[in-house]
Structure 1
């Protein structure tokens, strides 16, 4: 690890919304070598980002890597981030949020789709048959940051210092400071049913005006609107925020129209409470009306280590890993990178 006196460098979680994105959710093969290969490619993804990004410096290419709970236990250090656990599926009276497989998330962003595609291609080439793509979604900016339902998405995202305060782990879990948690879900829209609603009815479902993107007055805001159920306020009046990086996606031939939800938070419990309100209701049974037109098809929770920790993961010994011959690999002193992690308890 880095000098304890130096603040950890986060991955590019706080990079602004982009015009294009690629979301790759991967699972490793059953062999120990497969898991190590996936971890090591993920740990060194920065080299691939530089290789592609240098060809178009104005493309703002970046990649955030996250690890699922079971995969972290399999190939990570013995210490576990305080909030890391499998995605908790939700089953409401009407709608459900499933949990789906995912060992590693690659969240690729750029100003151009070709940069995202090329980086994704190189990642898959490096992995070979060691990993399987569980989900691949190509996101795009839709006009003035609208989703395919026609509403601006992400208006209430925190900015500046507030974004870091919402998304990045701090002193509450010092061994993993600079990291984050991210929950991803792929939502598929019933565009025909949505189109049957008047603009006014759509606005009451979302909780904002469609053209001006202004939140409805409290007196006009339904308690089952998307805005109302996703606003989390503590007893002391403090609003709990997450950093959303949602993107529209779709396939015309398949008739598929959707939103890829991706929410970063320093505490996944905040995002989970929002989802509980949406699917189970607040009060119970009062579910988010957007779910009547948008179905969750996937759901996974990942831990996003700091950049320093991400790069150090390749040096973590894995049970069952074959030891290299001394003459093939020069001995390395891992005490600074791994020793601190091994001594940390949950």
Structure 2
């Protein structure tokens, strides 16, 4: 039986670790992926593969492409492609550490670790600014329709495409804004989470209202705060049945359509950006038929 990796549709866990790996040129990619399949269950660990992996195997996954850097008035959104992305989900930091070590050992030497980031839940699902994250997430069947590929045949059905960005918050800059300025930047009242009807067009809610795009740009967000010492922000993770909805939202955020940049850029910025294909799961194992691996 084929399905999506379960962790994609489940709520975010209490704790997470995000691992990004680069691909070693000329390495045994197929062997590393075969070992990965023995330690990735799609629930405690969600796996995504970059376009360089498909190319190294001489394959093409329909819909998989590299992240494209964008810029707008005063803002830059970087592209930092990677070969492999692993989202470790759990509630015990020690167990996540040991699982991360096991995963790294499984994919060496074909993949080598570039970055490891700790994620966590803050309050009741808030961003570190105190605003609720993912308010407009689709639910239940709508979530599956937004996030999971359907109707494309064996090897693709049940898969998902994920956009991953690490945003760094300038929390002192955010704290310097008045409470009203903070609310208007997001387009919601932090207390009560009610949308502000007359928020300015730069408000994040106005920039990314999913139903205002043609076609509607629905994604399933599974973002979580992260911190390393006093540096902190949001690990933005958005799953879709393609990358189109995410790219449409990001173009509007940088002002590509009308020159109006998202007010979030006043106090936060992305420092990474990558696209990955999350294979489906068949009989409890990653299904890599789309990459020519049985």
- TM-score normalised by L of structure 1: 0.78
How far the C-alpha of 1:89 sits from its partner, in A, is 0.7
Counterpart check, 1:213 vs 2:193: yes
Q: Highest CA radius of gyration, 1 or 2? A: 1
Matched residues in 2 for 1:115 and 1:162: separation?
A: 33
- Offset from partner CA, 1:137-191 (integer Å, 9 cap, x none): 11010111111112111121111111101100111x3341111100000000111
Counterpart check, 1:295 vs 2:290: no
Pick one of 204, 210, 218 that aligns with 1:232: 210
Query: Is contact 2:83–2:111 with CA below 8 Å preserved after alignment?
Result: no
Matched residues in 1 for 2:290 and 2:235: separation?
A: 33
Pick one of 223, 229, 249 that aligns with 1:246: 223
Counterpart check, 1:43 vs 2:37: yes
Query: Is contact 1:209–1:216 with CA below 8 Å preserved after alignment?
Result: yes
Partner of 1:108: 88
Classify 1:312/1:142 alpha carbon distance in 2 versus 1 (closer, same or farther; 3 Å). closer
Query: Is contact 1:43–1:313 with CA below 8 Å preserved after alignment?
Result: no
Query: Is contact 1:40–1:313 with CA below 8 Å preserved after alignment?
Result: no
Is the partner of 1:39 in helix, strand or coil? helix
Classify 1:244/1:214 alpha carbon distance in 2 versus 1 (closer, same or farther; 3 Å). same
Classify 1:297/1:235 alpha carbon distance in 2 versus 1 (closer, same or farther; 3 Å). closer
Pick one of 53, 61, 68 that aligns with 2:50: 68
User: How do residues 153-164 of structure 1 correspond to structure 2 at under 5 angstroms?
Assistant: 153-164=133-144
Matched residues in 1 for 2:224 and 2:57: separation?
A: 30
Partner of 2:120: 140
Counterpart check, 1:271 vs 2:246: yes
- Offset from partner CA, 1:170-227 (integer Å, 9 cap, x none): 11x334111110000000011111111011110000111112112112xx22111111
Matched residues in 1 for 2:134 and 2:112: separation?
A: 31
Counterpart check, 1:119 vs 2:112: no
| Higher fraction of helix | 1
Partner of 1:150: 130
Query: Is contact 1:101–1:134 with CA below 8 Å preserved after alignment?
Result: no
Matched residues in 1 for 2:26 and 2:216: separation?
A: 45
Q: Which runs of 4+ in 1 moved over 6 A?
A: 314-317
How far the C-alpha of 1:304 sits from its partner, in A, is 0.9
Classify 1:38/1:145 alpha carbon distance in 2 versus 1 (closer, same or farther; 3 Å). same
Query: Is contact 2:54–2:61 with CA below 8 Å preserved after alignment?
Result: no
TM-align CA RMSD: 2.3
Query: Is contact 1:39–1:75 with CA below 8 Å preserved after alignment?
Result: no
- Offset from partner CA, 1:243-277 (integer Å, 9 cap, x none): 1111111123xx30110000000121100111111
Pick one of 15, 20, 23 that aligns with 1:20: 15
Matched residues in 1 for 2:36 and 2:79: separation?
A: 22
Query: Is contact 1:181–1:267 with CA below 8 Å preserved after alignment?
Result: yes
Q: How many residues align?
A: 291
Matched residues in 2 for 1:160 and 1:71: separation?
A: 31
Query: Is contact 1:64–1:108 with CA below 8 Å preserved after alignment?
Result: yes
Classify 1:314/1:84 alpha carbon distance in 2 versus 1 (closer, same or farther; 3 Å). closer
- TM-score normalised by L of structure 2: 0.91
Runs of 5+ consecutive residues of structure 1 not aligned to the other structure: 1-5, 50-60, 318-336, 339-346
Partner of 2:278: 304
